[in-house]
């Protein structure tokens, strides 16, 4: 049996290489040379199109390595189409790095059953490969044990991909595509991207927790949604991420701020109590995961004019709106804009966060 691995772009190439190296350790009947990978399996001087035809004639399964950078690549669509057309019972499996199946909506690849790079989905892929091995098939329980044993090796390779910086990758196209396919309204395009609604929604935080690779910085008031149970997986991953260099910082309004600041910050009369509960919840969430709150949480005591979230190189911002009573209006589900931090506006907003962080008070451990 032959497996065809398709890739496009540097991160996708490294993912393809990792899978080619790793699969034979889990599924011993499938040898590395049975997994066709163009970088190493096309000899210099050979005609590529003819070689591809020969490979397809003996191919049973195709793995398509998809990332944010290449999900619209026409070459991957061509190879997937060639595989599907050639195989009577096509097994074309998109392998998603940093994507969710719903991100393929509208893509030709949406017709295929995609898998994420988690153990549960990888087992499905391995079972599919195993079913094509005939008498060389292994029992499902054996395959599960082999996956459990070899998963840490692949996880290490995936962490290396997380740290890979693609120099020519523009932050905004990735933001537009991901947000548009995750339930947020289509953006208005210009020098910045504007979304008419969705700020501080669970949908937005779900996206940020999924796609942030190098940092997540938040300049908010209560930050309640981030520390809700919906984002437990993200919080559980923080110790590993932070140990590998991930920058996670949150700014809360200080519950002990001057009365005028607290009065202007929120319309609810019990806002200081709400704020104190949110701060304590965030502190406890980090302490439960053996993280020092003072390293990642700080409180400020001044009026705020903008709400900021920095996810990698994308800066999300919403202007604070004030009602007739002089109090800030809710930002939940309001409109917001996104700008690349490498532009002057993005750099200015990033500086606002940095100055607010430097002037804030670290939140120490529980008394």
The pLDDT of residue 216: 96
Class of domain 171-362: alpha beta
Find tokens 């519950």 and name the residue.
255
Q: If you search the block for the tokens 């772009």, which residue do you land on?
A: 9
Q: Using the CB atoms, write b or e for 149-170: b if 16+ within 10 Å.
A: ebbeebeebeeebeeeeeeebe
The secondary element (H helix, E strand) that includes residue 348 is: helix 344-358
Q: What is the DSSP string of 230-244?
A: GGHHHHHHHHHHHHT
In the prediction, which pLDDT does 47 show?
37
Residue-level pLDDT, tens digit, the chain, 367 residues: 788 888 887 888 899 999 999 999 999 989 888 888 765 433 333 334 455 656 666 677 889 999 887 877 766 776 677 777 665 555 889 999 988 888 888 788 888 899 999 999 999 999 999 998 888 999 999 999 999 999 999 999 998 887 776 544 445 566 666 666 566 666 655 668 888 888 888 888 888 988 899 999 999 888 888 998 888 899 999 999 999 999 999 999 999 999 888 888 777 778 889 999 999 999 999 999 999 999 999 999 988 888 899 999 999 998 776 666 666 666 666 888 999 888 888 899 999 999 999 999 998 754 3
What pLDDT does 41 receive? 39
Does 2-162 match 171-362 in CATH topology? no
Query: Rounded to whole angstroms, how far apart are CA atoms 65 and 76?
Result: 9
Query: Which superfamily does CATH assign the domain made up of 2-162 to?
Result: Toll/interleukin-1 receptor homology (TIR) domain (3.40.50.10140)
Amino acid 49: pLDDT: 47
Q: State the pLDDT at residue 88.
A: 58
Selection from 283, 264, 251 nearest residue 322 by Cα: 264
- Given a contact cutoff of 8 angstroms between Cβ atoms, the answer to whether 215 and 250 are in contact is no
Q: Where are the domains of the chain?
A: 2-162, 171-362
CB atoms within 10 A of CB 176: 17
Pairing mode, if any, of strands 193-195 and 92-96?
unpaired
pLDDT of residue 55: 64
Q: What are phi and psi of 177, to 5 degrees?
A: -65, -45
Between the two ends of the chain, the Cα-to-Cα distance in Å is 62
pTM, two decimal places: 0.53
């Amino acid at each position: 049996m032959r497996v065809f691995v398709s890739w496009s772009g540097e991160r996708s190439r490294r993912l393809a290489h990792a899978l080619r190296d790793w699969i034979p350790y889990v599924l011993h009947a499938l040898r590395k040379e049975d997994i066709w990978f163009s970088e190493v399996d096309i000899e210099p001087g050979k005609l590529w199109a003819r070689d591809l035809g020969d490979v397809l004639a003996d191919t049973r399964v195709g793995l398509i390595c998809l990332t944010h950078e290449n999900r619209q690549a026409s070459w991957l669509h061509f190879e997937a189409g060639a595989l599907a057309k050639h195989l009577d019972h096509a097994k074309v499996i998109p392998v998603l790095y940093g994507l969710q199946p719903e991100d393929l909506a509208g893509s030709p690849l949406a017709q295929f059953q995609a898998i994420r790079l988690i153990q549960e989905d990888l087992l499905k892929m391995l079972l599919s490969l195993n079913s094509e091995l005939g008498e060389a098939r292994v029992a499902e329980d054996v395959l599960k044990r082999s996956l459990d044993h070899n998963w840490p090796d692949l996880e290490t390779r995936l962490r290396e991909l997380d740290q890979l910086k693609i120099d020519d990758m523009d932050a905004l196209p990735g933001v537009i595509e991901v947000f548009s396919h995750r339930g947020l309204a289509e953006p208005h395009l210009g020098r910045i991207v504007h979304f008419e609604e969705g700020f501080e929604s669970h949908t937005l935080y779900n996206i940020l927790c999924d796609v942030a690779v190098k940092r997540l910085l938040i300049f908010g008031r209560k930050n309640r949604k981030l520390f809700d149970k919906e984002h437990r997986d993200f919080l559980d991953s923080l110790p590993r991420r932070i140990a590998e260099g991930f920058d996670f910082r949150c700014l809360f309004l200080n519950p002990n701020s001057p009365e005028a600041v607290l009065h202007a910050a929120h319309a609810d009369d019990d806002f200081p109590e709400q704020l104190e509960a949110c701060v304590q919840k965030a502190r406890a969430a980090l302490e439960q995961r053996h993280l020092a709150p003072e390293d990642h949480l700080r409180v400020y005591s001044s009026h705020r004019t903008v709400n900021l979230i920095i996810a990698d190189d994308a800066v999300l911002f919403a202007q604070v709106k004030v009602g007739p009573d002089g109090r800030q209006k809710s930002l939940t589900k309001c409109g917001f804009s996104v700008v690349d931090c490498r532009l002057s506006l993005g750099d200015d907003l990033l500086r606002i966060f940095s100055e607010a962080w430097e002037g804030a008070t670290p939140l120490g451990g529980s008394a």
